[in-house]
Amino acid sequence: MIEVKQLSKKYGSKYVVDDVSLTIEKGTITSFIGPNGAGKSTLLSMISRLLSKDAGEIYIDNQIVGQVKSNELAKKISILKQANHIDIRLTVRDLVSFGRFPYSQGKLTKEDWIYVDEAIEYMELEDLQDRYLDQLSGGQKQRAFIAMVLAQNTEYILLDEPLNNLDMKHSVQIMKVLRKLVDEKGKTIVIVIHDINFASFYSDHIVALKDGKIVKKGPTAEIIDSCVLKCVYDMDICIQDINENKMCVYFS
Amino acid sequence: MKKRYLILALVIFSIASVFIGVSNISPLDLFSLTEEELQVLFVSRVPRLVSIVIAGMSMSIIGLIMQQLTRNKFVSPTTAGTMDSARFGILIALMVFSNATPIQKMLVAFIFALLGTFIFMKILDRIKFKDVIFIPLVGLMFGNIVSSITTFFAYKNDMIQNMASWLHGDFSLIIKGQYEMIYISIPLLIIAYLFANKFTLAGMGEEFAINLGLNYKRVVNIGLVIVAMVSSVVILTVGTIPFLGLIIPNIVTIYHGDNLKKNLPHTALLGAVFVLACDIFGRVIIYPYEISIGLTVGVIGSAIFIYLLLRGKAHGL
């Protein structure tokens, strides 16, 4: 369980995350939604220790982030920021093997390679494993980075806009994988996502943020509500029920 | 570019290098060498070969490390002010201690090279406009500023001529008793190899590295210390070999990618082979005179550098 208590971050005198408290349950997908500049990514970065906080505390399984050794934390929680900007010429297999770094410090044992192979298989990258990252399409690249995170084998996986630059087919593919990871492997996933329909279809909980504050948090059905969304996005959003899911129509 | 071909080329060029020179020693005489020929071999030819191989390997490897740590293919000791700062350090050592020992010179050069490289890294942090070609240009400008300060003080103290010897790489002056400091590079290169995985990881960016529990700042600092130390050692024994740390790693990474653990051996081998070939070329072309290595590598290297720049632009590297 991740607990965030009265967390704040300011740049200059402006609070980008302002007194945010929330709890993330194990074995769920939680989506952070909100307009640009709401502080979603900043919040995610602070939870994963990439960014320092100005006030508040973060607990992961009752341990305070910041007091745990960075290398130990790397076995518990992983974060993937918008990975499309990393332009290093590594093969997919090499990249995935770096996911084992917290355990092996670069000297991979047989057991480490088993995790690497499993991750590659899980993300269906067997045919691409010897290709260089710069030879892959956006969707394949994203899958390779997620495979690396899988090899890292952390209980908590944080993803910052994992669907960025992906087309519909690949977006659905990635979201299905994330759902599968939660349902089959019991992972806990937190994503920052812009497309509220993906959030609505795939997440268990949603945290809606605006101007660094939480507008509302709760089970998906409670947040995908025209009143709440009006408050978050300042837009009139019509909500339709499709099968058992709620679909937001906001194009007009 | 298979490793075994590189090793083969290294062996062939090494043998050629030992037997090329004004005083004629033939491989056939190897078992019936006169006293004088033995002298030539062990005082001049072998030290020369050893320093060529070590300098070629070290400069290429530290270039590779710098490119990885700065995440820019065009950064190297020559294009980041490291070499210029080391030279400034040597000058200061000569000015402060009137009879500076090689070790004193090396240490002062090391401190300056390290400081210079740190300043360059700080400038890099502050640059918002991260164009691949803009960054090495900033490095070159920074290097030139340092180097003009060096020239100013050298001029004031009548040491311009002294300086020339560290400006131009030259293997012809290497003889037994004056080159041994270059062996300091070897343990540093071994450390670099042990840290290869960490450098690769650091090259993926600070956030990426922290996610995997790497102590990013420490790894970058260790890398920079190795770079500064090796630069100072090479500059004091051989002089500046321009562009070497730039072209060799670039050629290798085109074929073997950016995983340091995999491409370090290739980089070391290709670096040694390239410098050996350039050295032999320089010794043969106007025989019995020779062209210094700084010039040969400078001319060939800058041509390759321009080619890589244009290629990089086309490929959006």
Contact A86 B208 (CB under 8 A): yes
Query: How far apart are the CA of A239 and the nearest CA of chain B, in angstroms?
Result: 38
Domain membership of residue B199 as a residue range: 3-9+40-315
SS3 content of chain B, % helix, strand, coil (to 5): 75, 0, 25
Q: Which two tokens stand for residue B302?
A: 């800058």
What is d(CA A57, CA A3) in angstroms, rounded to the nearest whole number? 8
What is d(CA A235, CA A227) in angstroms, rounded to the nearest whole number? 10
Closest CA to B176 of B284, B285, B47: B47
Provide the ipTM.
Answer: 0.86
Closest CA to A10 of A44, A39, A30, A41: A39
pLDDT, tens only, B251-266: 898 888 899 999 999 9
Half-sphere exposure of A241 (CA within 13 A, CB side): 3
Task: Report which residue type is found at B53.
Answer: V
Number of domains in chain B: 1
pLDDT, tens only, B172-182: 878 888 888 99
Mean per-residue pLDDT for A78-94?
83
Q: Which two tokens stand for residue B121?
A: 């890294």
Q: Is residue B26 part of a domain?
A: no
Which residues from chain B sit within 8 angstroms of residue A74, using beta carbons?
A: 211-213
Residue of B198, B213, B261 lying closest to A74 (CB–CB) = B213
Residue of B208, B212, B317 lying closest to A102 (CB–CB) = B212
What is d(CA A156, CA B18) in angstroms, rounded to the nearest whole number? 61
Which CATH number does the domain housing residue B272 bear? 1.10.3470.10
Q: Is residue B172 part of a domain?
A: yes
Contact A50 B203 (CB under 8 A): no
Model confidence at B23: pLDDT above 60 = yes
> B56-92: b or e for each residue (b if 16 or more CB lie within 10 Å)?
bbbbbbbbbbbbbbbbbbbbbbbbbbbbbbbbbbbbb
Closest CA to A99 of A129, A68, A75: A75
- In this structure, of A107-116, B135-144, B223-232, B305-314, the range with the lowest mean pLDDT score is B305-314
Q: Is residue B32 part of a domain?
A: no
Chain-centroid distance of CA A123 in Å reads 16
Residue of B196, B207, B213 lying closest to A70 (CB–CB) = B213
The answer to whether B258 contacts chain A (CB < 8 Å) is yes
Which residues, listed in sequence order, are joined to residue B37 by a DSSP beta bridge? Answer: none
Query: Which residues are within 8 A (CB) of A85 and not within 5 positions of it... i.e. 6 or more apart?
Result: none
Higher pLDDT, B163 or A33: A33
Backbone angles phi, psi at A83, to 5 degrees: -80, -10
- What does the domain layout of chain A look like in residue ranges? 2-76+157-249, 87-153
Note the pLDDT of residue A158: 94
Model confidence at A179: pLDDT above 80 = yes
pTM for the model stands at 0.89
Q: Give Dmax over CA atoms of chain B in angstroms.
A: 66
A27 phi-psi bin (left φ>0, alpha ψ -120 to 50, beta other): left
Query: In terms of CATH architecture, what is A2-76+157-249?
Result: 3-Layer(aba) Sandwich (3.40)
What is d(CA B5, CA B3) in angstroms, rounded to the nearest whole number? 5
